[in-house]
Amino acid sequence: MNQEPTHSHQQTEANTGQPAVPMWLIGLMMVLLLLGAIYFDNNGGWFDSNVYAPYHNSAELDRYQLPSLGNEQVVLGKRLFEANCALCHNTDGTGKTGQAPPLAGSEWVNAQGSYRIIHIPQFGLTGPIDVKGQTYVIGAGMAPMGAQYTPDELAAVLTYVRQAWGNKAPAVTPEQVSKVRSELSSHPQQYTVDELKKLPEQAP
């Protein structure tokens, strides 16, 4: 049984034919590759991982971005506030009795000059504080929650606080925050309310 196929195997396969691949097939392949390359150029976004169909390239994607609403700082500030501050001060700024004073309508927040208010998140606060006629005392005081932020971020949070929930106070700039931050070496610990009251309203 093994002999017969082997014989024909040698006969039929010893010399497979040698005609070369015809030019028309190679030509067709080249043409298709060219068309494919043109298609890819138009629709492929050139390997940019942000470009999804139907956008053709990243320039087009940029053109169709949403118009800026001009409030990026407040949007960032809101997110950071809700991540870190809302735990004690509540997302609507009403504060928690016994824990944190309200920020909505607070005279400290609404002061024209931002110099004093920057100190609170930057350095922290210890001792009792009067807000809207009520006294708030927290055991360990407020930790310097804003010290972890960059000046841009802390300015964003304070701007948000000063413009949300009916507050109407001017925005805070990163430069103002940096100025306050530079005082860290001379007064590293938490501020007390008396020390705060001694500070001028506007930055010197």
Partner 1 sequence: MKHGPLVFLAAFFVLSTSWFGFVLKPQADLGNAVQETNVVSTALYPQPRPGQAHQGAEVYRANGCFYCHSQQVGQTGVTCDVVLTAPGTNLTAAAEAIAKANPALATANLTELMKKLPANILTNVDRSTADNAMKLLKAPDMKAEVHIVPIGPDIARGWGRRHNVAEDYVYDWPVMLGSQRVGPDLANIGARKPDANWQLTHLYSPQGLVKGSTMPSYRFLFETRKIGRVPSPYALQLTGDLAPAAGYEIVPKPEARELVAYLLSLNSDAPLYEAPFTTPAPAPAQTNSIAAK
Partner 2 sequence: MFMSAAVWLLVSSLFGLIASIKFHSPAFLADCSWMTYGRVHPAATNALLYGFAVQSGLAVLLWVFARQGGTPLIHPVLIGGAAKLWNLGVFLGIAGIIRGSGSGFENLEMPRYAVCILFASYLLIALAATITLHHRKERELQPSQWFLFAALLWFPWIYSTANLLLLKFQVRGVTQAIIAWWFSANLITVWLALVAIATVFYLVPKLVNRPLYSSHYALFAFWTLLLFGTSTGVPFGAPTPAWMPALSAVATVMLIIPTIAVLKNVCGSIHGDCAPLKSNPAGAFIKFAMPAFLLATLMKCAASLPHLNAITNMTWFTVAQSHLQVYGFYAMTIFAAFYYLAPRVAGFDCTRFAKLHFYLMALGVTVLVIPLAIAGIKQGLMLNDPSTPAVDIAKATIPFLRAATTGELLIALSNLVFFINIASMAAAFAKKQYALLCSGDSCETNLAEVKA
Residues of this chain that bind partner 1 (CB under 8 A)? 47, 49-55, 61, 63-67, 69, 71, 74-76, 78-79, 82, 92-93, 163-165
Q: Which run of H or E residues covers position 135?
A: strand 134-136
Q: Which run of H or E residues covers position 191?
A: strand 191-192
| Preceding peptide of 101 cis, ω within 30° | no
* 17 binds, options partner 2, partner 1, none, Cβ within 5 to 8 A by partner type: partner 2
Q: Which is nearer to partner 1, 82 or 107 (CB)?
A: 82
Q: Quick one: tokens of 165?
A: 């929930």
* 124 binds, options partner 1, partner 2, none, Cβ within 5 to 8 A by partner type: none
Smallest gap from Cβ 21 to partner 2, in A, equals 5
Q: Quick one: tokens of 6?
A: 């082997």
* 64 binds, options partner 2, partner 1, none, Cβ within 5 to 8 A by partner type: partner 1
Smallest gap from Cβ 67 to partner 2, in A, equals 24
Smallest gap from Cβ 27 to partner 1, in A, equals 22
Smallest gap from Cβ 8 to partner 1, in A, equals 22
* Cα angle, residue 165 at apex, residues 164 and 170 outer, rounded to 5°: 40
Helix H, strand E, coil C: the string for 1-42 is CCHHHHHHHHHHHCCCCCCCCCHHHHHHHHHHHHHHHHHHHH
Residues that bind partner 2 (CB under 8 A): 1-2, 5-6, 8-9, 11-21, 25, 28-29, 32-33, 35-37, 39-40, 43-53, 55-56
Smallest gap from Cβ 166 to partner 1, in A, equals 8
Q: Taking phi first (over 0 means left), then psi (-120 to 50 degrees means alpha), and beta for anything else, what does residue 131 get?
A: beta
